Structure 1
Amino acid sequence: MTIRLFLTIIGLAFSAATLSACGIFGGEKEDVRIEPTSSGVNGYLWRAAVETLSFMPMVDVDPRAGALITDWYAHPDVPNERMKVSAFILGGQLRADTLKVSVVRQVRNASSIWVNEPLRAGTELKIEDAILNRARELRIDSIGN
């Protein structure tokens, strides 16, 4: 999978989450009331990260620690390339410096062995931006209710 295709998929997931106010948590739009959790993880960032990455299978989802780790994801059109994303929410404020996204990309070589390959510059930043934008939308929606 190319980075461009991966980012397109991220964008589609982001758009779908934006169009569906209930997201994967269910409920109506007026139910959107998220506050920082007792562990200090920002609830808006947490929900935005889960929604944005929901198209990928999850390995570890820990809202108390603010850690979300996906399993390897290969787009069906590009089966010889896969990616794994980790998102960490590092605090209770809705700010860019409280979110850290890491992406690992692998390509299957001629011997059918998965080998780490570099990402295109800015990939992690684009995913962080998608999560931050969704978190801001959730915050604005909660104020309007």
Structure 2
Amino acid sequence: MNVHRLAGLALAGVVAVSLSACGSGIASGDSGLFRRNAAAAPAQETAETRQRAASQRAAQDRTVRGQTDSSSIFNLFRNGDNPNTTVEVNKYLWVAAQDVLNFLPIESVDPFTGVIVTGFGTPPGGGRAYRATIYVQDPALDARSLKVALQSSGGGAVDPGTVRAIEDAILTRARQLRIQDANL
């Protein structure tokens, strides 16, 4: 009987301490106005009080706009993404990559993320089969916007010079396509 009573008292103490920690501060509505000495003048605000008031106003503004930093289990079921967000892909690099690597069969294409995945194919005049993954990651017609990854049929690494030559061919073709559009 004593063990059960001691465990019950310990549990009650833990609950009391936990609840008392939740009841103080700005969030509970206790801004310190009622603890202030009646003789203290309201004009003698401290910097700390002003800072707390400013942070409370900022938290209320975030809550009103729906941008709270808190998370809950229900956030897993909400779609918080902006549906108007678009990913921009350079159309000249996109088309040029398909033109230059037209001997490779396309396995998947995702224009929203800028990824083209091809299957194995043999280049004209070549004896080794390759597969490529092309990533167009920026709307600028720039070398930094294009990433090409090659894999040979033997599973070995492809010479970096070959990858660079394919990237150069895609960039050259993209510039040609852009010049053609400018002449129209």
TM-score, length basis structure 1: 0.62
Other-structure match for 1:48? 96
Shift of 1:64: 1.6
Question: Relative contact order (C-alpha < 8 Å, sep 6+): which is higher?
Answer: 1
Runs of 4+ displaced beyond 4 Å: none
- 1:121 counterpart = 2:168: no
Give me the whole-angstrom Cα distance separating, in 1, the residues matched to 2:123 and 2:183: 37
**Aligned AA (1:55):** F
Structure 1 unpaired stretches of 5+: 1-37, 108-115
Other-structure match for 1:130? 169
Give me the whole-angstrom Cα distance separating, in 2, the residues matched to 1:127 and 1:97: 14
Cα deviation, 1:14-72, whole Å, max 9, x if unaligned, reads xxxxxxxxxxxxxxxxxxxxxxxx52100111010111111111111111211111101
Of structures 1 and 2, the larger Rg is shown by 2
Shift of 1:99: 0.1
Shift of 1:120: 2.4
- 1:58 counterpart = 2:106: yes
Give me the whole-angstrom Cα distance separating, in 2, the residues matched to 1:51 and 1:74: 15
Range moving further from structure 2, 125-134 or 61-70: 61-70
C-alpha root-mean-square deviation of aligned residues, in Å? 1.8
With over 3 angstroms needed to count, the CA separation of the structure-2 counterparts of 1:119 and 1:136, relative to structure 1, is same
Native 8 Å contact 2:95 2:174 kept in 1: yes
Give me the whole-angstrom Cα distance separating, in 2, the residues matched to 1:83 and 1:75: 8
Give me the whole-angstrom Cα distance separating, in 1, the residues matched to 2:123 and 2:175: 28
Give me the whole-angstrom Cα distance separating, in 2, the residues matched to 1:128 and 1:75: 15
Q: What is the total number of aligned residue pairs between the two structures?
A: 98
More helix by share: 2
- 1:102 counterpart = 2:152: no
Shift of 1:89: 0.2
**Aligned AA (2:150):** V
Other-structure match for 1:11? none
Shift of 1:121: 3.4
Shift of 1:106: 2.7
TM-score, length basis structure 2: 0.49
Other-structure match for 2:178? 139
Give me the whole-angstrom Cα distance separating, in 1, the residues matched to 2:153 and 2:147: 20
- SS in structure 1 opposite 2:92? helix
Q: Map 1:21-100; keep pairs closer than 5 Å.
A: 39-74=87-122, 78=127, 81-100=128-147
